[in-house]
Amino acid sequence: MSGTPPRISVVIPVHCRTPEHRRYLEEALDSAARQTFRDFEVVLVDDCSPLDIGPLTAAAGLPEARVLRQETNLGHARSRNRGVQAARGDLIAFLDHDDLWLPEKLARQLAVMEAHPEVGLVFCAVELFGPLADRFPVRPGYIPTRPDFAWFACRPNYVITASAVLAQKRVLTAAGLFDPRYSSADDFDLWLKAARLAPLYYLPEKLVRYRLHAANVNYAADLLNDNRLLTRLLWRAFLQSPFTERLKLLPALARKLAGRVRLLLL
């Protein structure tokens, strides 16, 4: 480990339990190693993987890498939080172990941060791939360059995938990091909270390949639990907002409540 902190810390949570998971992780690490921007470290949080992932990290050709091993399985939210807390860089990038980055991903997002130092989080467009890419409706539609809290609140949970994010560590920490009470929407919850603290920026370039497959965590989501938590977040924001923003948040609250009714009737 060098004495000078890296500019960016890349947090990768992983629970590697099958040869397929191992192959996905190897490909993800390779995509990180191919980044044109090199001043970064990888903080890989091994969430009690049955398979040994140490050799993969050592062989990936990364500028700097650490593996934090958890002796019990704590889930992706707590794993990401541990990675952020251990990060030495002022900027945090997330890479899920089954996703891929294009080589210019970090460089292009860092350029945005440097040109707009007030921005707390920048996210890019993604390309869907994998066996279920044509079956999962991840189509966010138009995204403004500077989306605010109210805009995000009216969007589906998948509008930002974690692998597409580069964020200021101080903003993530001030927002409370990832809430482990969620089954899958902890990232969306954090992006919403971050949007209340600092401007967000959308880079409309497909710099991430988001893999959709049968083992994605979203397929095991507790939708009713996540709906309740997100509704509480939106309601608190509604009460704290000026009148004009309350009007923008009303449709989002109505959709969340209608979605809860549908879930209860299933």
Rounded Cα distance between 258 and 32, Å, is 41
- Number of neighbours of residue 71 by Cβ within 10 angstroms: 8
- Number of neighbours of residue 70 by Cβ within 10 angstroms: 17
State which residues form the domain around 251: 222-266
Residue 2 within any structural domain of the chain: no
Does residue 228 share a domain with residue 109?
no
Does residue 190 share a domain with residue 97?
yes
Q: Considering the entire predicted model, what is its pTM?
A: 0.92
pLDDT tens for 234-257 read: 889 889 989 888 998 888 888 887
What pLDDT score does 138 carry?
Answer: 58
Alpha helices (runs of H) in the chain, residue ranges in sequence order: 19-33, 54-59, 76-86, 105-115, 149-153, 169-174, 186-195, 223-240, 243-265
Does residue 229 share a domain with residue 217?
no
Does residue 153 share a domain with residue 21?
yes
What domain count does the chain have?
2
Residue 1 within any structural domain of the chain: no
Residues 199-208 have a mean pLDDT of 96
Residues 166-190 have a mean pLDDT of 95
pLDDT tens for 68-105 read: 999 998 998 999 999 999 999 999 999 999 999 999 99
